């Protein structure tokens, strides 16, 4: 049985457009959520007129919730939508991993997620004729990436700035993404076995409430709760300034022809600072030590690998 014959959508025989947008790209905590909405090309103007879809950032929380309820009420009959939730732990691990071990930057993560959503729509039996996305990086380059990945010349690809404002189907996708992200944050259950509050404001790096929350819930050994994106600069700064001092021994394999009796040496590595190291001279020494250790790690080709 073909995928199309399994299609659950009433408009499965009509050519459709797909809109994709994200919520939570910039915050230092919580997931980044991608939303994908699709409907027949022929109802574009009707959807805009009937429901008033617009960029989720221009809407109040109450209006977003109302429109998301509208979307759910006509799901499968007049439109369809999917969301992809990329949690902080995944983002941190992927962005900090080596590129040859599955590491990606945020743009690459975004591109791959959008491609996965488009393919998911196609796999659902929808006839995709147009895809519209808010740009991530240079629009022309993004179009090329999508074209190469989709391998379908029948699909028109539109990538532009403010697509979530200019195209109703992208507006609807942005609403799905934003409401879903807000719901995840409201319902978040901390897996850490300690009391952690949720007074983190909007979660953006420049938000004073978010900064105070990060400092308040920081552990000098284990870092931040899993809600936090370790790879963000705000977090790395707090880590550098407050982490505990740790030293360990790492065996370094040397070529046999260098005269070493067993071909191995011990190298002491470390990072961080002790609580007692407060004055500027000691801090400077610690920073110098960290730079030496980083050079040592690079020379030894030690990789910081993460399992996703």
Percent of the chain predicted with pLDDT > 70: 79
pLDDT at 90: 95
Tens digit of pLDDT for each residue in 156-180? 999 999 999 999 999 999 999 999 9
pLDDT band at 307 (very low <50, low <70, confident <90, very high): very low
In the numeric block, the tokens 């705000």 are attached to 234
Which SS3 state, helix, strand or coil, does residue 260 take? coil
Element (H, E) at 94: helix 88-96
Q: State mean pLDDT over 171-190.
A: 96
* Average pLDDT, rounded, for the chain: 84
- Cα dist from 64 to 54, 164, 263, 273, whole Å: 10, 14, 65, 46
22 is in an annotated binding site: yes
pLDDT at 308: 34
Q: What is the pTM of this model?
A: 0.78
| Inter-CA distances, 38 with 4, 45, 83, 169, Å | 16, 14, 12, 7
Amino acid 222: pLDDT: 86
The average pLDDT across 89-105 equals 91
Q: Which domains does the chain possess?
A: 4-186 (3.30.420.10), 192-240 (1.10.10.460), 246-300 (no CATH)
Q: Is 89 annotated as a binding residue?
A: no
Tens digit of each residue's pLDDT (9 = 90 or more) over 210-260 = 999 999 999 888 889 999 998 888 888 888 888 887 777 767 666 665 555
Report how far apart, in Å, the C-alpha atoms of 259 and of each of 73, 262, 265, 301 are. 76, 9, 12, 22
Query: 262 pLDDT exceeds 90?
Result: no
State yes or no: 282 annotated in a binding site.
Answer: no
> Between these two residues, 137 and 40, which has the higher pLDDT value?
40
CA distance 152 to 10: 24
Question: For position 6, what pLDDT does the model report?
Answer: 63
Question: Strand locations in 24-116, DSSP E?
Answer: 32-40, 80-86
Q: Residue 47 pLDDT more than 60?
A: yes
């Amino acid at each position: 049985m073909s995928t199309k014959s399994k299609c659950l959508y009433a408009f499965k025989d009509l050519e459709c457009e797909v809109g994709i947008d994200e919520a939570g790209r910039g915050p230092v905590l919580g997931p980044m959520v991608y939303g994908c909405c699709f409907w027949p090309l022929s109802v574009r103007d009707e959807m805009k007129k009937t429901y008033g879809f617009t960029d989720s950032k221009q809407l109040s929380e109450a209006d977003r919730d109302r429109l998301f309820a509208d979307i759910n009420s006509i799901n499968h009959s007049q439109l369809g939508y999917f969301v992809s939730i990329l949690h902080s732990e995944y983002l941190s691990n992927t962005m900090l991993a080596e590129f040859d071990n599955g590491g990606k930057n945020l743009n690459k993560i975004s591109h791959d997620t959008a491609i996965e959503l488009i393919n998911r729509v196609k796999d659902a039996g929808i006839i995709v004729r147009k895809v519209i996305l808010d740009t991530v990086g240079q629009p022309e380059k993004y179009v090329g990436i999508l074209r190469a990945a989709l391998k379908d010349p029948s699909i028109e690809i539109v990538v532009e700035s403010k697509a979530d404002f200019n195209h109703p189907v992208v507006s609807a996708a942005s609403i799905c993404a934003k409401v879903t992200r807000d719901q995840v944050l409201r319902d978040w259950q901390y897996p850490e076995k300690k009391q952690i509050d949720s007074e983190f404001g909007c979660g953006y790096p420049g938000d004073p409430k978010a900064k105070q929350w990060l400092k308040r819930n920081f552990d000098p050994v284990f870092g931040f709760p899993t809600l936090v994106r370790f790879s963000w600069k705000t977090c790395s700064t707090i880590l550098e300034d407050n982490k505990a001092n740790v030293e360990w021994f790492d065996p370094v394999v040397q070529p046999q022809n260098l005269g070493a009796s067993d071909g191995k040496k011990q190298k002491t590595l470390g990072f961080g600072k002790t609580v007692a190291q407060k004055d500027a001279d000691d801090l400077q020494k610690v920073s110098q030590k960290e730079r030496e250790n980083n050079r040592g790690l690079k020379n030894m080709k030690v990789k910081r690998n993460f399992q996703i």
